[in-house]
Structure 1
Amino acid sequence: MNNQPKIIVLDDDPTGSQTVHSCLLLMQWDVDTLRLGLRDNSPIFFVLTNTRALPPESATSVTRKVCQNLKLALAAENISDFLVVSRSDSTLRGHYPIETDAIAQELGPFNAHFLVPAFFEGGRITRDSIHYLMVDGVPTPVHETEFARDSVFGYHHSYLPQYVEEKTQGRISAESVTRFLLDDIRKGSLQRLLQLRDNQCAVVDGENQADLNTFAMDVLTTASQGKRFLFRSAASILTALAALPPQPIPAENMAEYVRGGKPGAIIVGSHVEKTTQQLESLLQVEGTVGIEVDVARLLNDGVDESTQLLKEILLQVQTVHDSGKTPVVYTSRQELTFKDVNTRLDFGVKVSALLMDIVQGLPADIGFLISKGGITSNDVLSTGLALNSARLLGQILAGCSMVMTTSEHPQFPNLPVVLFPGNVGDADALGTVYQRLTTNV
């Protein structure tokens, strides 16, 4: 389809590209950087806003700024045919409806906004408008999982129309939400899509990729007839909209990208239970050495404490690297408690700043870098490696993207970097990725 609209994804953490490949990830959103994305040959590009790590007011202002610059970039490139996706979490955590409201105000009007949270690689499906997470093969309504109890983004409903009513505080009632059910999608949705107007809220089922592929084809056909759509989604609808061929180098051969067959480095920030299991399993794998960052030391306000901690860790990292092994730098696992959400977010910023100082102090000749956790991965790209864009190579494991730094990077040219979300993969997944990068090298 030559007249395919450009798919512009505002990603609230840097893991939404986890089902596509060969496109650009932009870490900055000045007009010139956005024009790079619009001019690129790929039908899709990502702007990594990292808004999931921000309080609501900041999330709104970042989203508005991206959209205002996007308007200028679209005009400069003379592009009028585009779809906007607000990519967020497949377990329904994130700033909804704050982000879709801001996008609609800046880039609208839209005929509809669709909630499409299905993410098949991660075992998230939507049936009868109820969103499920597969837990040990059993579909579990997502409001019954740990994600619904998130201290920042908690919620009480897996039935998406009720989730919308809850999150919009009744502005959009559950009854007014349009539902695209599996039967509707499989029969074809063209007529219904053509009738949508006034930024109608719609929720979309999906049990497998074929469902969303069918829906996406109808969306693209309708868009080519002038309908304007906005999406709030997880990653699987992006695969369908972009309709890309298989990635250039398959997942199991991605060790080909490793620089000089050298050992790498692994940074683990995410705190979800799954990450902790994966970390324990990884540290059993031959060739890895764990280095714990005792983040409680950062509660002492002194600058000296964090400088001292940084010095100690970098010394350990260099020693492990010199012995031909891969250092696994991970934050201490005990959950600290804080008096309120903002204090917690502020402490998170402090921990992240320390982790990014560690990234910047890594040995210059590491062969690869694995970043575990969505917010950690965003910070690694934008702060640790100070990139304004990176090329996505594809997935090294379902749901785990690999990008490469540019050949001009002053410290780590052509470095393959794995972006590993907190809540993806089985207990051995982190170990699997490490082994894929260190075999046949």
Structure 2
Amino acid sequence: MTSKPTSKPKIVVLDDDPTGSQTVHSCLLLMKWDVETLRSGLADESPIFFVLTNTRALPPEKALSTTREVCQNLKQAIAQEGITDFLVVSRSDSTLRGHYPIETDAIAEELGSFDAHFLTPAFFEGGRFTRDSIHYLVVNGVPTPVHETEFAKDSVFGYQHSYLPDYVEEKTKGRIAANQVDRFLLSDIRSGTLDRLMQMQNNQCVAVDAETQADLNQFAADVLQAASQGKRFLFRSAASLLTALAALPPQSVAPEDMAAYVRDGKPGAVIVGSHVKKTTEQLEDLLKAPGTEAIEVDVVHLLEESAVERADLLQRTLDRVYEAHTAGKTPVVYTSRQELTFPDIQTRLDFGVAVSTLLMDIEKGLPETIGFLISKGGITSNDTLSTGLALTTARLLGQILPGVSVVRTPDDHSRFPQLPVVLFPGNVGDRSALAEVYRRLRKLN
């Protein structure tokens, strides 16, 4: 397997959930990271590919070991493919949740000698931008510093600062002081940063402003120019930077026409795992749409239930799914919505695993004749690809709404060949967005 020479570096994205591809299309998503699978990503025609590590769902030690393993295998794959020019992106959440700096530290240690690592959390499709090094989320039309939003109170990844240099100092426990973080302000980005990029060394930490896609396009052009002159860069980024780095043409099927991918025009299935407030609101709107069937799964006592009780819950849920499908409806399977509290982080993670295991067992049992599948929630979507559908790779078709990806299973999938699968992050879109995706796939006005 040989690599075609290219004037642009290969963009390798280690994605901590499967939604980082939400601004690009036509590339590979890899659910496994053995050397051969990574070589297939490096050899693919697309300038970008994603390795879905799902580390945001893992405890810190496992996130670290997973990232190291990917990088060690990637080093071998790069050598075997003869790749000399590449950029590495640690793609994470645009609301600053995730294992930072664990993942960027591991990447730097394994792949080594980066001149700088950049924090670029802007994600314009989701209303997130950075100005004066402060990261904002637009809430009901009002730009709000992210530390004032629900995401900053996350029980695993909480934080106290929206000013990125302070965020870095907080997360690195003072190893990188706020005054050591370089800042690319909007005026810097718009006037060009190439000269400063060429001066970077020793994995300098840099916070990058961006209010529009044009800002990141300008920054990416300077980054690629510097990279072509030998500079090595690492990114801790949300999705919008990837649009700029990959510079892809428009996707082949327009978002509003993606019903063309639905198998035989049939009703599908929806699996909702995310618990954020936005998802609950979107779910309420979806269940008002014609042809949907609400199937709530009570998960409150899941950790206390026996294997027999869980098996019974699974069977009862699948019975209702098949009834809905037989009646020509789209079953919407969702976990009970009440907010739960846990005595410690490990119990919360154990609960997440138990819920995911149940949802994936439901997915494995779905009728083989469904026309499409919508997976709501980042971790749920990752598990859908790697466990529910047991995929090694999938081809990204594009976006059905801004920030909402559609992939398709391979032709030779054992149960669901050529099934379009919507990967819908928990915190993306307005109240009607989930219903709109469903309407587009069902060709409803």
- Provide TM-score, normalisation by structure 2: 0.98
Alignment of 1:95 with 2:105, yes or no, is no
Pick from 48, 63, 75: which aligns with 1:44?
48
Q: Which amino acid aligns with 2:371?
A: G
After TM superposition, list the pairs within 5 Å mapping 1:329-408 onto structure 2. 329-408=333-412
Alignment of 1:319 with 2:323, yes or no, is yes
Paired with 1:347 and 1:127, the residues of 2 have a C-alpha distance of: 37
Pick from 15, 35, 41: which aligns with 1:11?
15
Paired with 1:339 and 1:133, the residues of 2 have a C-alpha distance of: 30
Paired with 2:235 and 2:309, the residues of 1 have a C-alpha distance of: 44
How many residue pairs get aligned? The number is 441
Pick from 264, 267, 271: which aligns with 2:268?
264
Pick from 426, 438, 441: which aligns with 1:437?
441
Compared with structure 1, are the counterparts of its residues 68 and 2 closer, same or farther at alpha carbon in structure 2 (3 Å cutoff)? closer
After TM superposition, list the pairs within 5 Å mapping 1:19-30 onto structure 2. 19-30=23-34
* Deviation by residue 1:379-434 (Cα, 9 ceiling, x = unmatched): 00000000000000000000000000000100000000000000000000000000
- The answer (yes or no) to whether the contact 2:303–2:354 under 8 Å persists in 1 is no
Pick from 292, 303, 313: which aligns with 2:307?
303
**Aligned match of 1:168:** 172
Name the stretch that deviates more: 431-440 or 403-412.
431-440
**Aligned match of 2:183:** 179
Runs of 5+ in structure 2 lacking a partner? Answer: none
Paired with 2:360 and 2:390, the residues of 1 have a C-alpha distance of: 10
Paired with 2:305 and 2:141, the residues of 1 have a C-alpha distance of: 46
Paired with 1:394 and 1:127, the residues of 2 have a C-alpha distance of: 29
Task: Indicate the SS of the match to 1:295.
Answer: coil
* Deviation by residue 1:61-117 (Cα, 9 ceiling, x = unmatched): 000000000000000001010000000000000000000000000001100000000
Pick from 137, 140, 143: which aligns with 2:144?
140
| Aligned-residue offset at 1:137 | 1.4
**Aligned match of 1:290:** 294
Paired with 1:430 and 1:336, the residues of 2 have a C-alpha distance of: 24
Paired with 2:66 and 2:426, the residues of 1 have a C-alpha distance of: 23
Paired with 1:47 and 1:272, the residues of 2 have a C-alpha distance of: 25
Q: Which amino acid aligns with 1:65?
A: E
**Aligned match of 2:216:** 212
| Aligned-residue offset at 1:209 | 0.2
Alignment of 1:421 with 2:442, yes or no, is no
- The answer (yes or no) to whether the contact 1:271–1:333 under 8 Å persists in 2 is yes
What is the identity percentage for the equivalent residue pairs of Structure 1 and Structure 2? 73
Task: Indicate the SS of the match to 1:427.
Answer: coil
Task: Indicate the SS of the match to 2:183.
Answer: strand
Q: Which amino acid aligns with 1:303?
A: A
Paired with 1:47 and 1:340, the residues of 2 have a C-alpha distance of: 30
**Aligned match of 1:151:** 155
| Aligned-residue offset at 1:297 | 3.8
Name the stretch that deviates more: 204-213 or 134-143.
134-143
| Aligned-residue offset at 1:2 | 4.2
| Aligned-residue offset at 1:300 | 2.6
- The answer (yes or no) to whether the contact 1:255–1:440 under 8 Å persists in 2 is no
* Deviation by residue 1:297-339 (Cα, 9 ceiling, x = unmatched): 4133310011000000000000000000000000000122221
Paired with 1:394 and 1:255, the residues of 2 have a C-alpha distance of: 13
Alignment of 1:120 with 2:124, yes or no, is yes
- The answer (yes or no) to whether the contact 1:178–1:202 under 8 Å persists in 2 is yes
| Aligned-residue offset at 1:440 | 7.0
- The answer (yes or no) to whether the contact 1:143–1:155 under 8 Å persists in 2 is yes
- The answer (yes or no) to whether the contact 2:28–2:49 under 8 Å persists in 1 is yes
* Deviation by residue 1:196-227 (Cα, 9 ceiling, x = unmatched): 00000001000000000000000000000000
Paired with 1:298 and 1:188, the residues of 2 have a C-alpha distance of: 54
Paired with 2:309 and 2:409, the residues of 1 have a C-alpha distance of: 32
Paired with 1:139 and 1:32, the residues of 2 have a C-alpha distance of: 44
Task: Indicate the SS of the match to 2:11.
Answer: strand
Alignment of 1:275 with 2:279, yes or no, is yes
Alignment of 1:57 with 2:66, yes or no, is no
Q: Which amino acid aligns with 1:301?
A: E
- The answer (yes or no) to whether the contact 1:357–1:384 under 8 Å persists in 2 is yes
* Deviation by residue 1:171-219 (Cα, 9 ceiling, x = unmatched): 0010011100101010111100000000000010000000000000000
Paired with 1:128 and 1:338, the residues of 2 have a C-alpha distance of: 37
Q: Which amino acid aligns with 2:91?
A: R
Task: Indicate the SS of the match to 2:300.
Answer: helix
Task: Indicate the SS of the match to 1:192.
Answer: helix
